[in-house]
Amino acid sequence: MNNHVVLYKKLSAPLMQRLQAHTEVTLIDDPKSAAGLACLRDALHKADGLLGASLKLDAALLDLAPRLKVVSSVSVGVDNYDIDYLTKRGILLSNTPDVLTQTTADTGFALIMATARRVVELANLVRSGQWTQNIGPAHFGSDVHGKKLGIIGMGRIGEALAQRGHFGFGMPILYHSHSPKPAVEARFNAEYRSLEDLLKEADFVCLTLPLTAETEGLIGAEQIALMRPETIFINIARGKVVDEQALIDALSNQRIRAAGLDVFGHEPLDKGSALLQLDNVVATPHMGSATFETREAMARCAVDNLLSALNGERPANLVNPDAWSVKR
Read off φ and ψ for residue 160, nearest 5 degrees: -65, -35
Please confirm, yes or no, whether 286 is among the known catalytic residues: yes
| Pairing relationship of beta strands 149-152 and 92-94 according to DSSP bridges | unpaired
The active-site residue, picked from 118, 238, 257, 295, is 238
**Is 18 designated active site?**
no
Q: How many CB atoms lie within 10 A of CB 226?
A: 16
How many angstroms from the chain centroid is the CA of residue 22? Answer: 31
Whether 267 is catalytic: yes
Q: Which of 196, 267, 293, 313 is catalytic?
A: 267
Exactly one of 176, 286, 295, 300 is catalytic; name it: 286
Strands 281-283 and 24-27: unpaired
Q: Do residues 10 and 294 touch, judged by C-beta distance below 8 A? A: no
Enumerate the β-bridge partners of residue 52: 73
List C-alpha distances in Å: 56 to 60, 71, 77, 125, 310: 11, 12, 12, 40, 22
Active centre residues (catalytic): 238, 267, 286
